[in-house]
Amino acid sequence: MNEDLLKNLTKKLRQASADGSVPPGRKAYMNGLKLLRNGEVARASEAFGRGARRADPPFDALSTVARGECERVRGRHGSALRHWREVANRDSDPAAARYMAWLSIAALAADRDDPTLLTRAEDALERLQESGEI
């Protein structure tokens, strides 16, 4: 992520937090991004978990996908897959978030040499592309 963009977002978040206009779930998501930027993957995963539970759409889904990625980095592939599937299979989540989740699932399936899961992910990605939502 662009360093200036993240600094600007952090500044805006601090200002909005001071006046109480940032909802707690969105604040947790932004905190997760900051922690991830600083290499604090475990703490970022926890922050994204709070964001997933508290945030309004689309930040709840984005938090869940980001948490899955944190878990993948930590070597917790089962946990990562669970978070991604949660978003990938929930039609009420934004198509872009579902697409990101399926991309992550496909990458993990390829890394794990799991052709069944890879085919399922590729089929889901194709359906999302064909739907015109992406």
Q: Model-level pTM?
A: 0.84
Class of residue 32 by CB neighbours under 10 A (exposed 0-12, middle 13-18, buried 19+): buried
Nearest to 87 by CA among 57, 42, 110: 57
Amino acid at 18: A
Q: Tell me if residue 61 falls in helix, strand or coil.
A: helix
Task: Say yes or no to pLDDT of 17 above 70.
Answer: no
Task: Say yes or no to pLDDT of 134 above 70.
Answer: yes
Helix (H), strand (E) at residue 59: helix 59-73
Give me the chain's average pLDDT, please: 91
Domain limits, the chain? 3-131
Q: Please state, as a whole number, how many other Cβ atoms lie within 10 Å of the Cβ of residue 10.
A: 15
**CATH code that applies to domain 3-131:** 1.25.40
Predicted local confidence at residue 74, as pLDDT? 97
Helix (H), strand (E) at residue 74: none
pLDDT band at 22 (very low <50, low <70, confident <90, very high): confident
Predicted local confidence at residue 9, as pLDDT? 63
Q: What is the phi/psi pair of residue 117, to 5°?
A: -65, -40
pLDDT > 70 fraction of the chain, expressed in percent and rounded: 87
C-alpha to C-alpha distance for 109 and 130, rounded to whole angstroms: 22
Q: Are 15 and 33 spatial neighbours (Cβ–Cβ below 8 Å)?
A: no
Per-residue pLDDT of 64-84, as tens digits, reads: 999 999 999 999 999 999 999
Per-residue pLDDT of 102-125, as tens digits, reads: 999 999 999 999 999 999 999 999
Measured in Å, how far apart are the chain's first and last C-alpha atoms?
Answer: 21
Query: Between 5 and 98, whose confidence is greater?
Result: 98
Predicted local confidence at residue 1, as pLDDT? 46
C-alpha to C-alpha distance for 119 and 32, rounded to whole angstroms: 31
